[in-house]
């Protein structure tokens, strides 16, 4: 591993320079990687590994027709590289369990008999193992249990791979039966196209992931966008102006500067008025949200959030409820204005 200084804290990470794809291929040459589930992460990881020369098959329930047909459209052939969940699990030496957290609990009794001695059970989220008292997902003792969690959606994992870049991923070994668990998971992380890999634990991965999704990455982001947009509209600003100042400038300009060289560089490349105002107001937003983040983390680490998620997503009619909530968001004035703005971008003209 390479030692990297992250702001004064030295961490060990795995880069593609020290662990090239050729090494990953050598480690995985005798493995059959069975990707179970072709929903969010499954397609990207399966196609990236296939493109990198890894022996990949997909296990997908045929009754979920849209996902089955998507796998076929992506080049997986029924009976050759696309199977039922049970068939794929029987063939695979590495089982990548990439169905949703709720589905992992439901599907576990089906998958469990195929986890025979020496196989590897791979997760991209620590949820089911960390909260095993709620999910019932307790791996047998004679297999490797590993985790590689890309820090991005499946769509981003695939897009970055095709662009020659990579999504950074965390990795962990929960159980090392064969003595090869770490080299297996690092090889798989390289094979799915990770930019670099950093070590974690199953528990830390799920705590940080649930906090991030509910916080800055999704929940807090949408919440503060809605609040700012509402205040601007209440004060007579047009939908176009309110959207551009709330979303468009962030996503099309400022966040790209942050990505390029950091937040301080973005500040340095804004007007003096913007700099001063942002620096003055930043502490107020931090202090206002810090109690919310502390409460969120406590609910995640206690398991309360796990129970709430499993109860909600497992309830009858949940899919219809979810679709209704997403439709309400999409039909709000904020995101209808966004659709209009996107159509006016030069690349769409």
Q: pLDDT tens digit string along 169-203?
A: 999 999 999 999 999 999 999 999 998 999 999 99
For 198-215, what is each residue's pLDDT tens digit?
999 999 999 999 999 999
| CATH number at 2-200 | 3.40.50.720
Q: Residue 65 to residues 72, 84, 111: CA-CA distances in angstroms?
A: 10, 12, 20
Instruction: Give 349's pLDDT tier (boundaries 50, 70, 90).
Output: low
Give the list of residues 6+ apart from residue 303 with CB closer than 8 angstroms, or none.
Answer: 131, 133, 134
The residue from 91, 125, 134, 237 that is catalytic is 125
Bigger pLDDT: 314 or 21? 21
Nearest residue to 241 (alpha-carbon basis) of 343, 340, 346, 330: 340
- For the segment 219-237, the average pLDDT, to the nearest whole number, is 97
DSSP one-letter code for 143? S
Residue 58 has a pLDDT of 98
> Coil, strand, or helix at residue 136?
coil
Question: Sheet harboring 120-123: ordered strands across?
Answer: 2-6, 9-15, 194-199, 167-175, 144-150, 120-123, 94-97, 33-36, 56-59, 82-83
Residue 109 has a pLDDT of 96
Q: Answer yes or no: are the C-beta atoms of 219 and 295 closer than 8 Å.
A: no
**In the chain, what are the domain boundaries?**
2-200, 215-348
pTM of the entire structure?
0.90
Give the span between the Cα atoms of 251 and 255, in whole angstroms.
6
Nearest residue to 196 (alpha-carbon basis) of 38, 6, 326: 6
Residue 8 has a pLDDT of 85
**Token pair listed for 176:** 């090392």
Alpha helices by DSSP H, listed for 60-122, are: 65-73, 85-91, 101-111
pLDDT at 346 over 90: no
H or E segment to which residue 310 belongs: helix 304-313
For 52-103, what is each residue's pLDDT tens digit?
999 999 999 999 999 999 999 999 999 999 999 999 999 999 999 999 998 9
Chain-centre distance for alpha carbon 65: 23
Give the list of residues 6+ apart from residue 192 with CB closer than 8 angstroms, or none.
Answer: 44, 45, 48, 49, 148, 150, 157, 161, 169
User: Does the active-site annotation cover 125?
Assistant: yes
């Amino acid at each position: 591993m390479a030692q990297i200084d992250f702001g004064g804290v030295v961490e060990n990470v795995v880069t593609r320079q020290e662990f090239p794809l050729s090494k990953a291929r050598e480690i995985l040459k005798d493995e059959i990687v069975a990707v179970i589930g072709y929903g969010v992460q499954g397609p990207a990881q399966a196609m990236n590994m296939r493109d990198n020369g890894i022996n990949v098959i997909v296990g997908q329930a045929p009754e979920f027709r849209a996902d089955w047909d998507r796998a076929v459209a992506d080049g997986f052939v029924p009976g050759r590289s696309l199977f039922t969940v049970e068939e794929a699990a029987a063939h695979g030496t590495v089982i990548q369990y990439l169905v949703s957290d709720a589905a992992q609990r439901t599907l576990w009794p089906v998958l469990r008999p195929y986890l025979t001695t020496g196989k590897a059970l791979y997760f991209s989220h620590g949820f089911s193992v960390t909260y095993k008292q709620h999910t019932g997902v307790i791996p047998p003792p004679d297999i490797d249990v590993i985790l590689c969690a890309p820090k991005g959606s499946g769509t981003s994992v695939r897009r970055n791979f095709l662009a020659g870049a990579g999504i950074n991923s965390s990795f962990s070994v929960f159980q090392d039966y064969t003595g090869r668990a770490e080299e297996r998971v690092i090889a798989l992380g390289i094979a799915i196209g990770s930019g670099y890999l950093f070590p974690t634990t199953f528990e830390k991965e799920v705590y940080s992931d649930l906090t991030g999704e509910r916080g800055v990455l999704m929940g807090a982001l949408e919440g503060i966008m809605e609040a700012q947009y509402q205040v601007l509209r209440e004060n007579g600003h047009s939908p176009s102006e309110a959207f551009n100042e709330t979303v468009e400038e962030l996503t099309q300009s400022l966040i790209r500067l942050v990505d390029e060289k950091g937040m301080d560089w973005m500040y340095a490349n804004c007007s003096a008025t913007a700099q001063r105002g942002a620096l003055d107001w930043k502490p107020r937003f931090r202090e206002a949200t810090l109690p919310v983040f502390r409460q969120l983390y406590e609910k995640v680490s206690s398991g309360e959030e796990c129970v709430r998620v499993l109860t909600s997503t497992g309830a009858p009619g949940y899919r219809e409820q979810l679709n209704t909530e997403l439709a309400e968001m999409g039909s709000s004035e904020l995101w209808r204005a966004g659709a209009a703005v996107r159509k006016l971008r030069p690349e769409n003209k």
